[in-house]
Structure 1
Amino acid sequence: MLKNFTRGVILALVASMWAGFAVAQPTASFVMDARTGEVLYARNADLRVHPASLTKMMTLYLAFVELEAGRITLDQQVTISSHAASMPPSELGLRTGQKVSVRTLIRGAAIRSANDAATAIGELISGSEAAFAERMTQAAREMGMRNTTFRNANGLTANGHLSTARDMTLLGQRLFRDFPQYYNLFSRNTTETEMGTIYNTNRRFLSAYRGADGIKTGYTSAAGYNLTSSAQRGQERIIATFLGGTSVNQRNQEMARLLDLGFNRAPSRAANVQLAALHLPAPGQSETVIATRANPAERPNRQEALVRTASRPAHRTAPTLRVAENTIPAAAIEAEQNAISAALVAADAAMNVAAIEAASRVEMGDGGDDDIVIAARRPERRPPLDTGVVANVPAETASAELVAQAEQPRSEQARVVVASAAIGSWSVQLGAFSTRDKAERHLIQTALAQMESLNGATRDISSTIVNGRTMFRARFIGMSGDAANRACARLVALTQECLVIAPQI
C-alpha cells in the first residue's frame, strides 16, 4: 500500500514537471473550409515550428503519386535498409533485409505513424531519405506551403525540419482532394499488415468527435502534441491543425474546439473550388501532373474507386485498401454517443500517466505518436488466463452461442467463453444483437460503466449471419490477453455475458 502510494506521488510529480518542459514550442492553430479554402480561424498560423509526424502526410501524398503514376504498386516487395530499420519508435519493428509490401509500409506510416515504414517509403521512391526530403520540399512549394522545409520522411526532430499550422492544413486539404480513393485509410481505427494488426494513433479523437475521419497525429518532445484533423457534417467539411499541445487530452479538446468553430462559421452550402494542378518532378521520369477532381464533395465509394482504376495500365495492381464498415450510430443514440465521447476524451488524461513512465524511451528516439508510444509494442501472444471454461471455440460458433442471451435478462451466473479471432490482438465480445443500434448502445453503456478496465480498447461492430439472421457483434478490440481476461472477469462479476476472443496462432 505504502509502495503504491509512493509510486503515485512520484508519478504525479513527474507529470507536473513533464507538463512544464515537454513542449518547447508555442501553440499554433489554423482552421479551413476544405471546400473553398476559406480561412475560418488562425493563430500563429505562419510560425515555423516542428511538425513531428504530421510530416508523414507528405510522405504518404508522394507515395500516392507514385501509385497513380504506376511507378510502384501496393503488392511490390521492398527490402528494408539498415537505415530504415534503425528508426526509433513509433515503429513497425522492421528488420534489416526484411521484405515487406508497399501496402504494409503505407498502412504502417498512416495508421501507426511508424518511422521505419515512412523512411522505407522515402528510400523506395527517391533512393535515399535525403533525396526524398528534397522532393518533399519541392512538392510543398508546389502546394503553396511557403514556410515548410523537410529534412526526413518521418518527422523526427532535425535542424531545419520545420512547418506551420497553415501549411499542414493545406497539405491535409490536398490529401483529401487529390486522393479521395485512398483517404479512407486515415479513418480506420485498426488495419491489418504483414506485421499483424496495428492501431490508429488518432483513434481516440476519431471515436470521440462526430464526423471526424482523419488525418494525422504527431509528437516529439520538441514539437509537443500535434494534430491535423478533418471532419464532415452534412455538406460541410472542415480541416484544422493544432500544434504544440501539452498532452493528448489537451490537444484533442483544442481540436474539438477548433472544428466546432469551423462548423459554426462555414456556410452550409458552398461550391468546391478547384485546386491548382501540381507539377511534381520524378527522378528519371517526366513530370507528374496531379489535378483534383472537379467536384470532390464526397469521398468516392468502392465502386467509383474501381472505375477509376480500370483505366490504369494493365501491369498495375489495383489498390485493395479496404473501406472500413460504417459503424456510426443512429440518431436515437446520439446523446449516449456524446456522453461516451466526453468520457473517452477524459480518459486520455490517464494515458498521459502511462506515457510519462515511457518518457525516457521516447526521448531517446525523439519520436513516437501520443498513445501509440505505449501500444507500439508487438502484439502479445500469451495464452489466456485459466477461466475454467471453454477454450479455442471458433468465433462464429461462440457468437451463435451468445445470441440467445444477448437480448434477454442476464443469467444469475454469467459465463466467459474464449474463442479464436484474427491475428494481432485480443478482443472482448459482449454479444450479438438484432440491430446495429442495440449493439452500439450496449457498447456505450458498458464503456461508461467499465472505463478503467476497458481503457485503450476500441469499440467495434461487425455483422454476421447466425441461423439465417443478420446479427451485429458488439466488441471491444485492440486489447492484450491479460486486459481482455480482466475486463471479462469484471463483467462476469456483474452477471454480464462475456466472450474473450483470442488471436489465432
Structure 2
Amino acid sequence: MAALILLVTFGATLRAGAAPYADFVIDARTGQVLHQENADTRLHPASLTKMMTLYIAFEAITRGEIGLDSQVLISKKAASEEPSKLGLVAGQKIELRYLIRAAAVKSANDAATAIGEAIEGSEAAFARRMNRTAQALGMTRTTFKNAHGLTEEGHLSTARDMTTLGRHVFYDYPQYYNLFSRITADAKVRTVAHTNRRFLRDYAGADGIKTGYTRAAGFNLVASAERDGKRIITTVFGGRSTATRNDRVAELMNLGFNQAPGAVQLARPSAPDYESLPGTPGSTAGKTLRVSGLVNRSPRPTGRPRPQVPEGMIVALQDGVAEAVALATDDQAEQIASLVAGAEKLEDTSAEAPLPGGVSLAGIRPEPTPVEVREEMEDAIAVADTASTEEVAGMIAGAGAATPQDGADIALAASGKPAPGAEAPDIGANVEDLVVAAMGGGAASDANDTDMAPAAATVVPKSRPRVLDFAVAEAAEPQQASIPAPAPRPEVVVRASTSGGRHWGISVGQYNSRFEAEKVLLKTALREVETLDGSLRKVNQRATGYDATFMGLTQDQAAAACARLQARGSDCSTVSPG
C-alpha cells in the first residue's frame, strides 16, 4: 500500500509540469503489460521519434537499400535543423554509420533528417514510410510528420506505441541495439555523448533506449533493462526534469522486475506486416524498394580477347607442316611426328625462343591440349611403318583422337603406305586429318579454311588450331626437306586434378545481412582476383545469418585461396562437395 501511495504521489508531482503525463511498463520477453497510466493518450513524442527513424535505417540496410558506408550528401534542410545537432554543413558528405551514431547517441536532429533523405529522397517521403511502418508494427495511435521529433502539428504518439516500437528495436535488430547503450560514440565530425548517460550509469542493468525533450512534450524516456534473465521496458511521457523523469522510470522499472515472473517462454514480437495494410497489396515496405539492381547471381566473366598472331608465325607454321609432308617416307615417320608435335607446341606454349625471322611467341597462350592425347598420337605415328594398320588405329582411338577407321587413315597418311589393293594415299589430302587428330579434334571443316586472312589471324581456343589451316592448304605441294627439325619446345604439363572437379568452395564468414555478405564477397574477389578467378560468388541465408561463399573451385584452388586469405588475417574455411 505504501508503494502504491508513493507511485501515485510521484505521478502527481510529474503531472504538475506543463506537459501531460503518461507511462507504460511491459515484460519485454512476452509483451505482458505490468503497469500503465494514460497509455493511449496521444502526446508529443519528441526525440523518441528517432527510434522509428533508426528502425527504418536498420531495415533499409538489411534489405540492401543502402549501406553503412554509403556516402550521404547533407542538404540545406538537414544542416539547418534546430539543436540538438551534430553540426553538419550543407554539401558535406558523410558515411551513414556516423549519422546513425549521432541520431542514436546524441539525438542529433540534423543527422536524423539526413538519414530520412538518404533513404527516401525527402523528409516528407520518409515520414510517409514512418507512418506505414508504424501501422505494420501495430502502433495504432501514432502519426509522424518528421524524422527528428521536433514539435509539429499532428506529430503525436502514445506511451503504449512507443513501448511497442522500443521492443521491436530490441528484438528485430539486436545487432544494432548496442548503439543505445554507448556512453560516447565517434560521429566523425566529433565524439558525442549519450543523452541518457545518467540513467545508464545509475540504474543497474539499463542498456538503452532513447530520450526525448521538447517544451510541449516534457522529458520523455523509453528505457530497457535486464536483471536475472528478466527484461523490462518502461516508457514515461511528460517528465518535469531529467532527474525526476529518471527517478520515475527507475521506480517503474523496480515495479516491473518485482511483478515479472522468473521463467517464461520467450514470445518475440511479430515481424512488421506490410502486406495487410489497406491499399497496399503485396507491399513489403513503406516505399517501392530499390532492389532491382541487387546482385543475385554472379556470372563468370567472358574470356579476354586473344592476341593476334603475327604473320611471321603463320609462315613458320606453314613451313613446318609442309616440311613434315615432304619427309613422309617409310623411314622418316618419327620426324613427321616430331614436326607435327612441334607445330602443335607452337599453339599451346609461349616459348621464349624466337621463330625464324625473329618472331616470338611470348604472351600468346591459347588453351593447352591434353598431354595424354599428344603422347599417344606421337607413339602411334612413330610405329606407323612397323606396326599393322589395325594396331595404329587402335592406339589412336584409345587416345580419344579418332575412331578406329579414322585412325587407320591417319596412320596410312603418316607412314605413306597404301592400303592393300589401293593406290598410294595423297599425303597432302590427309595431313589435315593428321594435324586435327594430333590436336584431339574431329574431322576437318571446309569453312575453317576460308574465314581468316593470314595477315590478321587470331588464335582461337578450339580443338583444332586454325593457324594450321594455312599449312594444310599448302600441304599438297611438298617442298624440299632442307630445313632441320626444330628443337623440342618445353611442354605444358597439365597435372590431373585430385579434387573430383570444380565442386569445392570457400566460406569467408557469416554476416547479419545479405548486403554485408555481398560487400565482403566483392572486396575479397577484387583482392584475390588471381586465386578466385572464375569462381561464383554466392550468399546462403541461414537461421543464424548470411554465409558469404565462393563456389566452383577445385579442392586445390579452395585450399590455396584459404591459405592466402588466412595469411592476410581474414577468416576462411573450405566448403567440400555435398
- Tell me the TM-score normalised to structure 1 length: 0.54
Match of 1:158 among 133, 152, 155: 152
Q: Which residue of 2 aligns with 1:175?
A: 169
Q: Secondary structure at the match of 2:43?
A: coil
Change (3 A) 1:149 1:310: closer
Residue identity in the other structure for 1:64: F
Give the conservation status (yes or no) of the 8 Å contact 1:70–1:316: no
Change (3 A) 1:138 1:317: farther
Give the conservation status (yes or no) of the 8 Å contact 1:281–1:287: no
Q: Which residue of 2 aligns with 1:89?
A: 83
Q: Is 1:57 equivalent to 2:51 in the alignment?
A: yes
Higher strand share goes to which structure?
1
Change (3 A) 1:310 1:90: closer
Match of 2:39 among 45, 64, 68: 45
Q: Is 1:120 equivalent to 2:114 in the alignment?
A: yes
Change (3 A) 1:181 1:24: same
Spell out the pairing of 1:407-446 with structure 2 (5 A cutoff).
Answer: none
Q: Which residue of 1 aligns with 2:245?
A: 251
Q: Which residue of 2 aligns with 1:484?
A: none
Q: Is 1:25 equivalent to 2:19 in the alignment?
A: yes
Residue identity in the other structure for 2:519: R
Residue identity in the other structure for 2:238: G
Q: Which residue of 1 aligns with 2:510?
A: 307
- Offset of 1:283 from its aligned partner? 2.9
Residue identity in the other structure for 1:96: A
Q: Which residue of 2 aligns with 1:316?
A: 519
Change (3 A) 1:99 1:237: same
Structure with larger RCO (C-alpha < 8 A, sep 6+): 1
CA distance in 1, matches of 2:16, 2:143: 23
CA distance in 1, matches of 2:92, 2:190: 15
Match of 2:289 among 285, 290, 310: 285
Deviations 1:166-190 (A, max 9, x none): 0000000000000000001100100
Give the conservation status (yes or no) of the 8 Å contact 2:182–2:194: yes
- Offset of 1:25 from its aligned partner? 2.5
Residue identity in the other structure for 2:171: R
Change (3 A) 1:65 1:22: farther
Residue identity in the other structure for 1:229: A
Deviations 1:259-313 (A, max 9, x none): 111000001111111322213425332899xxxxxxxxxxxxxxxxx73437546
Change (3 A) 1:287 1:146: farther
Change (3 A) 1:142 1:260: same
Give the conservation status (yes or no) of the 8 Å contact 1:149–1:162: yes
Give the conservation status (yes or no) of the 8 Å contact 1:236–1:263: yes
Q: Which residue of 1 aligns with 2:123?
A: 129
Give the conservation status (yes or no) of the 8 Å contact 2:127–2:145: yes
- Offset of 1:206 from its aligned partner? 0.1
Unaligned 5+ runs, structure 1: 1-18, 289-305, 319-505
Q: Is 1:228 equivalent to 2:222 in the alignment?
A: yes
Change (3 A) 1:20 1:274: closer
Q: Which residue of 1 aligns with 2:535?
A: none
Q: Is 1:218 equivalent to 2:421 in the alignment?
A: no
- Offset of 1:75 from its aligned partner? 1.0
Change (3 A) 1:181 1:118: same
Q: Is 1:104 equivalent to 2:98 in the alignment?
A: yes
CA distance in 1, matches of 2:65, 2:120: 11
Q: Which residue of 2 aligns with 1:185?
A: 179
Residue identity in the other structure for 1:142: A
Q: Secondary structure at the match of 2:221?
A: strand
How many residue pairs get matched? 283
Deviations 1:305-349 (A, max 9, x none): x7343754654369xxxxxxxxxxxxxxxxxxxxxxxxxxxxxxx
- Offset of 1:70 from its aligned partner? 1.2
Match of 1:146 among 140, 145, 151: 140
Give the conservation status (yes or no) of the 8 Å contact 1:23–1:223: no
Change (3 A) 1:20 1:80: same
- Offset of 1:21 from its aligned partner? 11
Q: Is 1:199 equivalent to 2:193 in the alignment?
A: yes
Q: Secondary structure at the match of 1:316?
A: helix
Residue identity in the other structure for 1:58: M
Change (3 A) 1:317 1:80: farther
Give the conservation status (yes or no) of the 8 Å contact 1:22–1:224: no
Runs of 4+ in 1 over 2 A off after TM superposition: 19-25, 282-288, 306-318
- Offset of 1:20 from its aligned partner? 11
Spell out the pairing of 1:372-383 with structure 2 (5 A cutoff).
Answer: none
Deviations 1:68-91 (A, max 9, x none): 111111111111000000101000
Spell out the pairing of 1:447-462 with structure 2 (5 A cutoff).
Answer: none
CA distance in 1, matches of 2:212, 2:291: 31
- Tell me the TM-score normalised to structure 2 length: 0.47
Deviations 1:370-417 (A, max 9, x none): xxxxxxxxxxxxxxxxxxxxxxxxxxxxxxxxxxxxxxxxxxxxxxxx
Unaligned 5+ runs, structure 2: 1-12, 275-283, 293-508, 522-578
- Offset of 1:244 from its aligned partner? 0.2
Q: Secondary structure at the match of 1:181?
A: coil
Q: Secondary structure at the match of 1:307?
A: strand
- Offset of 1:22 from its aligned partner? 10
Q: Is 1:261 equivalent to 2:255 in the alignment?
A: yes
Q: Secondary structure at the match of 2:175?
A: helix
When Rg is computed on C-alpha atoms for both structures, the one with the higher figure is 2
Residue identity in the other structure for 1:285: L
Q: CA RMSD, aligned part only? A: 2.2
State the percentage of identical aligned residues.
Answer: 55
Residue identity in the other structure for 2:36: A
Q: Which residue of 1 aligns with 2:321?
A: none
